[in-house]
Amino acid sequence: MIIKNGKAALPGQNKLASVAIRIDSVGKIAEIGGNLTGDDDILDAAGLIILPGGIDPHVHFDDPGYTHREDFEHGTCAAASGGITTVIDMPCTSIPPIINIDNLMQKLDAIKSKAVIDYGFFGGVSAQSFEKGFPENMMLLSEFVLGYKTYFISGMAEFGQLDYFHFQMALEIADALEMPVLLHAEDYGTVTDATETAKHNGNSPMDYYRSRPEIAETIAVEKAIGIAKNIGADLHIVHIATAEAAAMIAGTDITGETAPHYLEFNKDDFQRIGSSLKTTPPVKSPGNREKLWQMLADGAIDFVASDHAPCPESEKNTGSIWTDYAGIPGTGTLLPYMFSEGYMKGRISLKRLVEITSSAAASRYGIDDRKGSIAVGKDADFAIIDPNATWTIKGAKFLSKGKITPFEGMEFKGKIVKTIVRGNVVYDSKMGILANAGYGQFLSA
Q: Give the DSSP per-residue string, 306-351.
A: --B----HHHH-SS-TTTS---B--TTTHHHHIIIIIITTTSS-HH
Q: What are phi and psi of 418, to 5 degrees?
A: -145, 150
User: For 126-178, how does the pLDDT look when each residue is reduced to its tens digit (9 = 90+)?
Assistant: 999 999 999 999 999 999 999 999 999 999 999 999 999 999 999 999 999 99
The answer to whether residues 31 and 13 touch, using CB atoms and an 8 Å cutoff, is no
pLDDT at residue 445 above 90? Answer: no
372: left (phi over 0), alpha (psi -120 to 50) or beta: left
Strand ranges of the sheet holding 54-59, from the earlier edge strand across to the other edge:
54-59, 84-89, 118-121, 442-443
Average pLDDT over residues 5-27: 97
How much is the pLDDT for 35? 86
Residue 361 vs residues 31, 58, 95, 151, 415: alpha-carbon distances, Å: 24, 10, 26, 20, 23
Fold of 54-370: TIM Barrel (3.20.20)
* Helices H / strands E in the chain, number of each: 15, 21
Strand ranges of the sheet holding 411-421, from the earlier edge strand across to the other edge:
17-18, 7-8, 49-52, 382-392, 411-421, 424-428, 432-433
User: For 356-399, how does the pLDDT look when each residue is reduced to its tens digit (9 = 90+)?
Assistant: 999 999 999 999 999 999 999 999 999 999 999 999 999 999 99
Other Cβ atoms within 10 Å of 199 Cβ, number: 16
* Sequential DSSP letters for 122-139: -EE--GGGGTSSTTHHHH
Which pTM was predicted? 0.98
The number of CA neighbours under 13 Å toward the Cβ of 103 is 26
Q: Which residues are within 8 A (CB) of 345 and not within 5 positions of it... i.e. 6 or more apart?
A: none
Other Cβ atoms within 10 Å of 342 Cβ, number: 22
Say how far apart CA 159 and CA 94 lie, in whole Å: 10
The residue type at 406: P
Catalytic residue, chosen from 62, 63, 307, 368, is 307
Say how far apart CA 262 and CA 260 lie, in whole Å: 5
How much is the pLDDT for 359? 98
Other Cβ atoms within 10 Å of 121 Cβ, number: 25
Average pLDDT over residues 25-35: 96
Q: What is the dihedral angle through the alpha carbons of 262, 366, 117, 394, rounded to the nearest 10 degrees?
A: 10
Per-residue pLDDT band for 256 (boundaries 50, 70, 90) equals very high
How much is the pLDDT for 390? 98
Q: Which residues are within 8 A (CB) of 281 and not within 5 positions of it... i.e. 6 or more apart?
A: 186, 212, 216, 217, 239, 241, 242
Per-residue pLDDT band for 53 (boundaries 50, 70, 90) equals very high
The number of CA neighbours under 13 Å toward the Cβ of 239 is 26
85: left (phi over 0), alpha (psi -120 to 50) or beta: alpha
Is 307 marked active-site? yes
